[in-house]
């Protein structure tokens, strides 16, 4: 039995996004638990699809004693403010310090945090923990597969284990796998490490493991994890972070350096061999709606359009109106969009009541070029206090507090409106305002990939659209300044010469 300090600090930073994450963003936290310290951490994690939840379950089953520190997460956005980072980091470090004698530290991290002062938020967090506990104590971390991994992260962690699914239906399972890796480290000692960076950026929409090339690459990678190999991770990266180390990486941990290098080289070569396959068709808004309506004619299931560039899971504010305009312009019936985040409109709808007509300028307040509010007279079809629970594989059992919410109808278009942003990755996020997703001809989801876990079973087809938004679908179109020289800005795309 070991005594293990447990904590977490998660943020996916889109350095091109319009809004930063202050401490209040971690308190509100979207669909994640709020900032949690002490034993409440264990209560908040119970039954959740979160890495810390899986780690806690597996480590307790193995007989270990767990000491809680602090866990915090905020919806993806621009940089984490220095005040927020220092406040949360201090809570975690204080929890480790106050734990007394411990045998290991587990941290539930993301891997793509950028703060106002630190390009590598996780590297800085791990460095501080390492300085506190000393060179020999095991520090293990679970990671999102969108992590942009750095040398500092690798140097200061004993081992790191990333998700193998996107949509991330295996977050809790990744925590369990991390606990198993830690058990092996506690018995056998520090493993050898191998770290590789690839030389091209991969768009989010084509990182999905429910299709090729990503899915088969992960299957082949997992075949290496046996015998002397403790764990291996391929992280396609988060391609909207203007930092030197943005991009895909591979990690491997094994009993010997030769084995770690062998696996890391094999997985890296596999990803590189499929570079050209990490691309696909992206529609403009009107083209996407027209194609969706064509496909939906006579279909028994809805056609789903991913509004990928306003994905709140990648730093968008979930309030752009390009896809809404395209839906309304089509003049078609049984169309729905969600979530549109506009607290003023939601409050007005709740005040007016079901059946009322309200004239509001909906959404469009993020300052995105080519976007703006969509003013019209909408019918209030349903209202909600915004309290709901996720039912799908990604947001399983997530308790969401979305604030005043409503369904606003304009012609044949229903829009699910809420006050606090969360990615449209669960059918319940339509149902909580009275929209039955299975009855629509077309659904527009403000998400890039996570929606596929819950929506693929009900979809006739899935299209990807690029309306104005901060999560540019093609990373080659982003205004890079800090990226390392020599990396291709998209699969088989132009090479960044450096700043």
More confident residue, 416 or 469: 416
Bridging pattern class, strands 229-235 and 249-254: antiparallel
Question: What pLDDT was estimated at residue 417?
Answer: 98
Mean pLDDT over 119-139 rounds to 98
Q: Identify the H or E element spanning 73.
A: strand 65-73
To 5 degrees, how large is the angle CA 32–CA 77–CA 167?
A: 55
Sign of CA dihedral 124, 125, 127, 132: positive
Which of 373, 375, 377, 355 lies closest to 364 in space, CA to CA?
A: 373
pLDDT in tens, 184-219: 999 999 999 999 999 999 999 899 999 999 999 999
CA distance 434 to 443: 14
The confidence band for 314, taking pLDDT boundaries of 50, 70 and 90, is: confident
Q: Based on the number of CB atoms within 10 Å of its own CB, is 55 exposed (0-12), middle (13-18) or buried (19 or more)?
A: buried
Q: What are the extents of the domains in the chain?
A: 3-277, 285-473
pTM for the predicted model, two decimal places: 0.89
Sign of CA dihedral 469, 472, 478, 483: positive
The confidence band for 280, taking pLDDT boundaries of 50, 70 and 90, is: confident
Mean pLDDT over 274-283 rounds to 93
- In DSSP notation, 368-383 reads -TT---EEEEEEEEEE
The confidence band for 398, taking pLDDT boundaries of 50, 70 and 90, is: confident
- The average confidence (pLDDT) of the chain is 96
pLDDT in tens, 185-194: 999 999 999 9
pLDDT in tens, 292-312: 999 999 899 999 999 999 999
CA distance 358 to 378: 5
Tokens of 486: 């020599």
Mean pLDDT over 466-484 rounds to 92
Residue pair 306/445 in contact by the 8 Å Cβ criterion: yes
CA distance 473 to 478: 9
């Amino acid at each position: 039995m070991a005594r293990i300090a447990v904590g977490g600090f998660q943020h996916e930073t889109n350095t091109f996004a319009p809004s930063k994450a202050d401490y209040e963003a971690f308190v509100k936290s979207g669909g994640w638990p709020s900032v949690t310290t002490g034993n409440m951490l264990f209560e908040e994690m119970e039954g959740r699809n979160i890495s810390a939840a899986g780690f806690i379950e597996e480590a307790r089953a193995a007989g270990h004693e767990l000491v809680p520190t602090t866990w915090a997460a905020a919806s993806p956005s621009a940089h984490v403010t220095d005040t927020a980072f220092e406040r949360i980091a201090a809570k975690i470090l204080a929890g480790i310090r106050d734990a007394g004698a411990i045998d290991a530290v587990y941290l539930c991290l993301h891997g793509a945090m950028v703060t106002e002062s630190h390009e590598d938020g996780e590297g800085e967090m791990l460095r501080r923990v390492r300085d506190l506990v000393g060179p020999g104590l095991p520090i293990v971390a679970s990671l999102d597969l969108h992590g942009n991994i750095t040398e500092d992260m690798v140097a200061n962690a004993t081992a790191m284990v990333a998700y193998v699914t996107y949509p991330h239906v295996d977050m809790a399972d990744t925590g369990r796998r991390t606990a198993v890796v830690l058990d092996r480290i506690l018995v056998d000692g520090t493993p050898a490490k191998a770290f590789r960076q690839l030389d091209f950026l991969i768009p989010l929409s084509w990182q999905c493991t429910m299709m090729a090339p990503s899915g088969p690459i992960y299957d082949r990678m997992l075949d290496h994890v046996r015998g002397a190999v403790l764990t291996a991770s391929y992280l396609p990266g988060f391609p909207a972070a203007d930092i030197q180390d943005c991009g895909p990486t591979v990690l491997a941990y094994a009993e010997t350096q030769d084995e770690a290098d062998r696996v890391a080289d094999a997985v890296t070569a596999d990803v590189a061999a499929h570079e050209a396959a990490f691309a696909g068709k992206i529609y403009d808004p009107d083209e996407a709606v027209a194609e969706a309506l064509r496909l939906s004619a006579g279909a028994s299931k809805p056609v789903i359009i991913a509004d990928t560039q306003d994905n709140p899971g990648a730093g968008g504010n979930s309030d752009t109106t390009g896809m809404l305009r395209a839906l309304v312009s089509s003049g078609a019936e049984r169309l729905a969009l969600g979530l549109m985040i506009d607290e003023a409109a939601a409050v007005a709808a709740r005040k007016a009541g079901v059946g009322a007509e309200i004239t509001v300028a909906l959404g469009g307040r993020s300052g995105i070029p080519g976007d703006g509010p969509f003013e019209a007279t909408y019918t209030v079809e349903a209202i909600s206090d915004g309290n709901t629970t996720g039912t799908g594989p990604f947001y399983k059992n997530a308790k969401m507090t979305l604030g005043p919410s409503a369904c606003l109808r304009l012609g044949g278009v229903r829009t699910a409106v809420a006050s606090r942003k969360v990615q449209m990755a669960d059918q319940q996020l339509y149902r909580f305002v009275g929209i039955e997703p299975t009855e629509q001809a077309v659904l527009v989801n403000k998400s890039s990939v996570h929606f596929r876990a819950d929506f693929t079973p009900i979809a006739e087809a899935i299209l990807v659209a690029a309306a104005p938004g901060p999560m540019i679908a093609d990373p080659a179109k982003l205004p890079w300044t800090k990226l390392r020289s020599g990396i291709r800005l998209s699969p088989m795309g132009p090479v960044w010469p450096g700043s």
